[in-house]
Amino acid sequence: MLFNSSEFFIFLPIVFFLYWFVLKNSFRQQNIMLLGASYFFYGWFDWRFLGLLILSTVIDYSFGFWVANGTERKKKLFLWLSIFNNLIILGFFKYYNFFVTEAAIFLGNLGFHAHPYVLNIVLPLGISFYTFHGMSYVLDIYRGNFKPIANFVDYAVFVCFFPLLVAGPIERASHLLPQITTSRKFSYAQGVQGLRLMLWGFFKKVVVADSLAPIVDDIYKNYHTYSGSTVALGAIYFSFQIYCDFSGYTDIALGTAKLFGFELLTNFKFPYFSRNIAEFWRRWHISLSSWFRDYLYIPLGGGRTTRAKAVRNTFIIFLVSGFWHGANWTFIVWGGIHALLFIPLLLGNKNRQFTGPIVAYDRSLPTLKELAQMLLTFTLATLAWVFFRCPDMATSFAILKQMTVNFFHVPALKSFMLFYVAPLVLIDWYFRRDERALAFPRNRALRYITYAVMFVVIIYHSNNNASFIYFQF
């Protein structure tokens, strides 16, 4: 079920009504209802994968007890079995065809004729997210950061809560489970904040991202017929498309969770206002980058080791992050590019230069230096997005090459879409101090007029129910 579908706007009020008006006196019953609603929400996409989701949930729930109660040797054994189980599930559905095809190509280069057996299977929605939920749960138990949950329903809600099930944010047991295992009371302020986040998320997704999508698709498909400036504009538009698509989804997810009394982890903090690539990754898909930091980068030694090992660890985390997004060399190269951009900052001890508030937090405008830093970071991220967007390496390099052809030709036909991008940047800049507390006008009449205008514009653009980009990961 898509957030931007008519079915969701029937589903959500029904679940909300049952949750707060019928089952308000028992959070246990609320949890059972949330689990059933989450399974229904997921099964609406494809009911065949419900069994895989439930099986994965049961296995990690069981491993949590085995890791907690065994001897040190058994704890480590069950931990690795849990990791192996999740990686097998993820690898089979997401990476099997990639590995067998690449192995056949490698053997062919050695003179052997291999005929790989490729599976015609559909990638289960959300598999990259719910397997990471399970692994982090068992890892936190092994580290002693969390005790296993006795109630299976509570744990299953942690894994399957419908706002975050398909595309995150990737939650931590220590953050979400305490909210699930305690009673909740409806908060009017929290509900209003949730509806505002949802409204802004729908605006970003339906109005901006889905309006940019056909333009981006056309430019990337027919890049050889366009001037370099038009192709570059297409790359810029994709940067905003993927940002509005994914952060729009996150806003809707966070807002929906607020309606049920839950606070999910932050996933975006205005990444295109970053002053270098390190800050960009502290502000883009935060739940994933922090997951790799805590469960892969730091266990490898992080940056607090020799320079050579720090560089190695950086490459590992970025390459794995790229590969997490999809079984294609373009994603691996995309991760490698970000590693190459990050390493000079690491070697120069500037990777933690901007760990505080957003740029110009206490000022209306950035300095010229900060503006230049933001533009450079955005440009580098946009060029890397080319590999993320293209189907193969050859197309990626061809598009980058095409950007140099007749570059100064003004792409008048496509530049009208700046009408959507420019206001987005200005509004984001206005909201930048807190991505959750959207500062709508204080005047009640003006505030409701703003709501109404945004709602009308969303309805006007909601004619295709386009899927979210990160659903494919």
Cβ partners under 8 Å of residue 10, min gap 6: none
Place of tokens 């505002």: 196
Among residues 135, 123, 122, 40, which one has the least CA distance to residue 84?
Answer: 135
Among residues 48, 54, 36, 30, which one has the least CA distance to residue 162?
Answer: 36
Instruction: Reply yes or no on whether 113 is catalytic.
Output: no
Burial of 419 per CB tally in 10 Å (0-12, 13-18, 19+): exposed
Which residue in 133, 285, 325, 338 is the catalytic one?
Answer: 325
Structure tokens at 183: 């009673």
DSSP structure class, residue 22: I
Angle between helices 50-69 and 152-160 (to 10 degrees): 120
CA atoms of 2 and 244, how far apart (whole Å): 16
| DSSP calls for 181-234 | TS-----HHHHHHHHHHHHHHHIIIIIIIHHHHHHHHHHHHSGGGS-HHHHHHH
> Do residues 133 and 159 touch, judged by C-beta distance below 8 A?
yes
Place of tokens 């480590």: 76
Among residues 53, 51, 43, which one has the least CA distance to residue 1?
Answer: 43
Place of tokens 């099930």: 165
Angle (CA) 440 446 449, round 5°? 95
Among residues 197, 191, 193, 176, which one has the least CA distance to residue 251?
Answer: 197
CA atoms of 384 and 378, how far apart (whole Å): 10
Residues catalogued as catalytic: 325
